[in-house]
Amino acid sequence: MKVYKFGGASVRTADGVRNLAHIVEGEQNLFIIVSAMGKTTNALERVFTAMQKAQKDEAHKEIAEIVEYHAAIINDLWGEPTQLDEVNALFAELRSIIDNTIYRPQDAELWYDTIVAFGELISTTIISKYLNHAGLRNRWIDMRKTFVTNPRHKDANVDIKASEPRLKAALENTGVGVFVGQGFIGSAPDGTTTTLGREGSDYSAAVVAHILEAESMSVWKDVDGVLNADPKVFKDAVKIDALNYLDTIELAYSGAQIIHPKTIKPLQNKNIPLYVRPFGDKTKPGTVIKADAEHVTLPIMIYKRDQVFLIIRSKDFSFVMEEKFAVIFSLLDRFRIKTHLINNSAVDLGLSVDASWHIDELIEALEKEDFEVEKRESVCLLTIRNCTDELYERYVASQQKLVRQINFKTVRVVLPEPTF
């Protein structure tokens, strides 16, 4: 068995879906994981926000645009105006959630997941039907029924043990060797839909690969493979041919958008190689991520936007010590806020964290614990691994910095107003 994952950018148009069909053509033992088409997840987030603000008309307007976008893809794929009953039924269900839900703020994450999951349900329904229509026999798999997750809505983890028998059972006696399932979604033990965190489809594919002991997993992307920098931000980005699991996790943790950070562990546990391959050309090798690849020595630049920098100080000026750290980190965990850089001095703890809905609640809770908190929004975190003097001069030296950490050959800075 092989596992292929196609991201939203790869299937954002009918041409993209035809290209997917071209890539999977002739495969016999294949599990295909697909994300929502194009920017559908963002559009569904707007539907959720409208629900949150009790703006039903706005929610329906957003849904109408999502319907139109998918209808154009369907019509193009089938070559004539076409209605797919299953897709229509999904949209009807989404509309009825908007009309009939009594929203309570304490259920924000639950409704977020319920709504946002439609992106993957719709994309996989279209793609599975289209592949069958094109003669590539396959079975649509409902990942809500196969992935059991913990109840941590909006950032759930898959319970691999509980999911294994369900996934295996779903593939039995189907008479086909090709399966199409949704990335990013699962169900909590209470049956409610969960999502695995934005960009979580890579992680879904890795869990499928782990359970099915796949020979390999491939992520098809609109780049040639893993690059050493984001080419939109930094010139001269180059492709890395091979990476080991450890380097990959470090890169993902620092914010490299190559692969979701949760992806590597399920693969590493079973020693499954991960290929990052260009969607446009299936003959190109891309990048391979595997246990025995050599440590990278090339400079790697990772630029993470939308960070919030917090400076936490204990009001009584006592040192920020172990027990204080424990309080701070358990609050971060309670509010599900992800930390990407930690910088401590005797009295301060500086944290670069993801912008989250719950930052202000966190700050309030910290203040109750007698901390003072300063917040700086919209900052960027730049990490340069294997940094050279030349890169330092070019990207770091003249920038205003809130924090600078230099650790062997890794430079990490929090920049309030980067000028590149």
Say which residues have a Cβ less than 8 Å from residue 89's Cβ, sequence separation at least 6: none
183 binding ligand ASP? (CB under 6 A): yes
Residue whose C-beta lies closest to Mg ion: 8
201 binding ligand ASP? (CB under 6 A): yes
Give the DSSP H or E segment for 331: helix 322-334
Nearest to 129 by CA among 40, 21, 207: 21
CB of 178 to ligand ASP, least distance (A): 21
d(CA 184, CA 251) in angstroms, rounded, equals: 21
Using a 10 angstrom Cβ sphere, with 0-12 exposed, 13-18 middle and 19 or more buried, the burial of residue 319 is: exposed
Coil, strand, or helix at residue 183?
Answer: coil
184 binding ligand ASP? (CB under 6 A): yes
d(CA 291, CA 276) in angstroms, rounded, equals: 15
Q: Pick from Mg ion, ligand ASP, none: which does 131 bind, CB < 5 to 8 A by kind?
A: none
Query: Interaction with ligand ASP in 102-121: which residues (CB under 6 A)?
Result: 119
Query: Interaction with ligand ASP in 259-318: which residues (CB under 6 A)?
Result: none
CB of 316 to Mg ion, least distance (A): 46
> In terms of CB distance, is 70 or 385 closer to ligand ASP?
70
Q: Pick from ligand ASP, Mg ion, none: which does 299 bind, CB < 5 to 8 A by kind?
A: none
CB of 60 to Mg ion, least distance (A): 23
Say which residues have a Cβ less than 8 Å from residue 257's Cβ, sequence separation at least 6: 199, 230
d(CA 226, CA 24) in angstroms, rounded, equals: 22
Q: Which range, of 14-22, 196-204, 239-247, 409-417, touches ligand ASP by CB under 6 A?
A: 196-204
Which residue in 7, 186, 273, 278 binds ligand ASP (CB under 6 A)?
7
35 binding ligand ASP? (CB under 6 A): yes
CB of 390 to Mg ion, least distance (A): 35
- Which residue's entry shows tokens 């979604």? 185
Residue whose C-beta lies closest to ligand ASP: 201
Q: Pick from ligand ASP, Mg ion, none: which does 248 bind, CB < 5 to 8 A by kind?
A: none
36 binding ligand ASP? (CB under 6 A): yes
187 binding ligand ASP? (CB under 6 A): no
Instruction: Please answer whether residues 259 and 248 qualify as being in contact, where contact means their C-beta atoms are separated by less than 8 angstroms.
Output: yes
46 binding ligand ASP? (CB under 6 A): no
Say which residues have a Cβ less than 8 Å from residue 353's Cβ, sequence separation at least 6: 307, 308, 309, 310, 332, 337, 338, 339, 340, 359
Angle at 9 between CA 148 and CA 382, to 5 degrees: 85
CB of 40 to ligand ASP, least distance (A): 7
Number of Cβ atoms within 10 Å of the Cβ of 70: 23
Which residue in 2, 3, 38, 41 binds ligand ASP (CB under 6 A)?
41
Residues that bind Mg ion (CB under 5 A): 8, 35
Number of residues that bind ligand ASP (CB under 6 A): 12
d(CA 117, CA 119) in angstroms, rounded, equals: 5
Q: Pick from ligand ASP, Mg ion, none: which does 200 bind, CB < 5 to 8 A by kind?
A: ligand ASP
194 binding ligand ASP? (CB under 6 A): no
Q: Which residues bind ligand ASP (CB under 6 A)?
A: 7-8, 35-36, 41, 119, 183-184, 198-201
